[in-house]
Every structure is written in structure tokens, then in C-alpha cells.
Amino acid sequence: MRLEDMNWMDVERYLQHDDRIILITGATEQHCTLSLLTDILIPSRLADAVAEREKVLVAPPLNFGNSRQFITYPGTISISPEAFHTIITEIVQGLLAQGFAGFFILNGHGGNTISSQLEDLQLDGHARIVWYDWWHSPAVHDFEADYQLRLEHANWGENFPFNRVGPVPVGEKPLVNLGYLEAGHTVRDVLGDGSFGGQYQVDDSLMDELFQRVVDEITELVHAMKIKH
């Protein structure tokens, strides 16, 4: 249930029985040979799968986040943390005024964080807000433990068939520690192809399992946000 497939009257009818909405946040930034919109495509696919089960609305994604460290990679588009906080806060405030109150923010990018203004709205009881970093979720941590894998930026853990846009390197890359970035060097100088290390790809059957585990977890969380009318 995407807003793009509805008109305002459809949304008004929806609000008569439900006040939940999924907001997707992410980034446009390098992901090795994966899509520049990996941080949007993954949470968007997750949101669509959850919406099929819960019949909850999904808003258009916010495609940009704080990606300054990758700005030397062509195609990366970055906004400041302050700009991100302002935008996501104003989105929530506008929807809140219309009658939405349950906001599940499905985040796909590590540079994005919840704003203090949204935390205040939650603490004051004006809104029910869940901020969810999908790659840091319990479902992902359990998956990593079960298969002895470690999800890192642009490695196997973000390599789904739907965001694979070029040939995937074979094998495994040594993990990169950006803490050893020397003066005068960019992140690109250290990362090279952009992956933080680890296996570039695992079998797609494992990625399907990972996807379903995360969808199951999100569905439970979104379901718990529903207020009975």
C-alpha cells in the first residue's frame, strides 16, 4: 500500500481505521558494484513485503542521508545530519497533523539517526515512533550467528538480487578498518572498490532467508503499533 498508488480521499478513508505509516530513510551512495540506491532499495522491498501482510501505508522514501565520507565516489549524494533531521522531523509533524500517529521509520543507512525532536514527540505521547536500522536488527544478528557471517557495508549482507547492478567480485576481501585513515587520505584511498570487507556474495537462498527473517520481525513490530478502533 504505497501513497503513490492512492489519492487523498483513499488516505482519508485509511485514517478512519488505522494511523500507522512506514517511512523509509536511506541514502544515495557507493556500494561497490551494487546499486547506488542500495540503502533505499533494501528497506523499500522490506516495507512492501510488510505492507502486504499488515495492510499498512508506505510513504515515498527519503533518498538522501549523511554520506559525506563517500563523497569522492561519483554518484554519491550527501546531505548534512542537520538537514536530514529537519526533513524527517517536518515529514512526521505534517503527517501527525493529518491524523497519523504510528510512525515506523525503516532506515537503511548508518549515517542517519533519529532527531531529538522526534524523540520528544515520542516521549510526550504525541506519536508512537519506532526507529529501525534493519542491518542492526535482532533478526540479522541471529542470522549472522547461525551462519558465522558478518554483515558489513557493501559485502554479502547487502547483496540482494534486486539491487545487484553489475558483476559481483568473487571471493572475500579483508576487513577494512577506517580508524587507520591517515592524514591526506580519503576513505576511497583506503576502501578502494567500496566494500568494507568480508565475502562479496553468498548463495541467494541465504539472502532470501535473511530477507524473510527481517520481514517477519518488522511485521511483528508494525502489528504491535496498531491501535484498535
Q: Give me the domains of the chain, ranges plus CATH numbers.
A: 3-224 (3.40.50.10310)
Distance CA 54, CA 66 (A): 30
Instruction: Please name every residue paired with 63 in a beta bridge, in sequence order, or none if there are none.
Output: none
Residue 177: the pLDDT is 83
Positive or negative torsion for Cα 41, 49, 197, 181: positive
- Pairing mode, if any, of strands 128-133 and 172-173? unpaired
pTM of the model: 0.95
Taking each helix axis from N to C terminus, what angle separates 81-98 and 116-123, rounded to the nearest 10 degrees?
30
pLDDT tens digits along 137-185: 999 999 999 999 999 999 999 999 999 998 999 999 999 988 766 676 7
For the segment 86-99, the average pLDDT, to the nearest whole number, is 96
Q: If you average pLDDT over every residue of the chain, what do you get?
A: 95
Closest to 30 (Cα-Cα) out of 186, 202, 209: 186
pLDDT tens digits along 68-87: 999 999 999 999 999 999 99
Could you please report the per-residue DSSP string of 109-123? -TT----HHHHHHHH
- Reduced to 3 states, what is the DSSP secondary structure of residue 79? coil
Residue 179: the pLDDT is 75
